[in-house]
Structure 1
Amino acid sequence: MSKESRKKSSNPASYGAAPGNRVAAAAKKVAKKTASQTTTKSAKKTTAKTAMAKAATTKASVAKAAKPASGGAGLAEGAKAPAFKLPRDGGATVSLADFAGRKLVLFFYPKANTPGCTKEAIDFTRLSKDFAAAGTAVLGVSADSVKAQDNFRDKHDLAVPLISDETHGMLEAYGAWGEKSLYGRKFLGIIRSTVLIGADGRVAKVWRNVKVDGHADAVLAAARGL
């Protein structure tokens, strides 16, 4: 054997890596792969949690924006009446400021030309002169269009102004818009309500889930006593 051959055969590198080194290298590779997978899973979990947090924040913001700025179902007697400015039958505009220094009755009804709403509007019309004598103005409010209010007025010779609140802003502020139930089905709609506002611009009395029979007379009695 030549000197060159003996030198080559005595060099461990000529036989490749030792068995122990190969095992260590394989273990290191597996550990690196496992660490990479763990990091990826952790990143995905963090991304999912961030997305869920953003969704929850967005949902909360939308819910907050949907609530009326003032008034609502908790509209309390003694509280300042929420301001409004809306179109009425005939095309004119009506606002709370128009009645400053006077008592005002707002009766909220679900829909023009339906039996209960028709009777209620006729009852307030029948007593319109008595309300005027008591220094009290009366306004009817629903989500019907101005055209529908015009038809309602003409069909039943109504003598009280009828406000159109198609966006529900005033209805919500006065607590007259909320969840209702009919034949087991729940939905959002107008809750028949009446609010009496004093000459000082504050809520004097609130009636919720009104029963039409005798209601207008009861409101007149309250207005007279205010």
Structure 2
Amino acid sequence: MEALDTRHRILLTAERFYAERGFDGTSMRSLTEDAGVNLAAVNYHFGSKKALMWEMFRAKIVPLNTERIRLLDAAQAKPGGATLEDIFDALLRPMFEVAKGPDGPNIILLRMVGRLFSESEEFWEQLHEEFFVDLSARFIEAVQAAAPDVEPESLAWRFHFSIGAMLGALLMHHPKKCNHAEIDINNLDLSCKKLCSYMCAGFRGMEDSAS
């Protein structure tokens, strides 16, 4: 039990340090001191700083993606198949549920998302390859079935922008209302629903005018 507690404590500290400092800015000496462990404990459980951070991402992302696929499978099993609303709800809702947190916005998670944008291209490629390639393929296939009239290239662009909109909505979270309108971007349930509608409208909109 103590070994599991130590491993869990290290992972929780890694989450917070990554959210505050990013990968390069995280010192293993500071992290171990904060977690109340020595470097040998980190090496025993994870092997290296990168392996620790990767396991931290895995612990966050894999359950999230598992829930996304579960919701997508359930939607596709319905008579008539999945609608665009079903598909984007499956993509968005698990992420926003985690971001919402049980006792208010999950600030650490939201900051982690922001920190990812400062990482290297190599880091992004590895993260995408391990956690998002197969997931993206499943969702793109589902969108193709739900919007068969959208050309493949246009569909790829729209899906790309949809992912950007999702990340942007999370990064724009702020405890105050948006300055340019009386909308409460702190309401993550509402943000999720509005974003889902926005994405579906994008896929049902007019064909691209520029090549």
Q: TM-score range by the shorter chain?
A: under 0.3
TM-score when normalising by structure 1: 0.22
TM-score when normalising by structure 2: 0.23
Larger relative strand fraction: 1
Larger relative helix fraction: 2
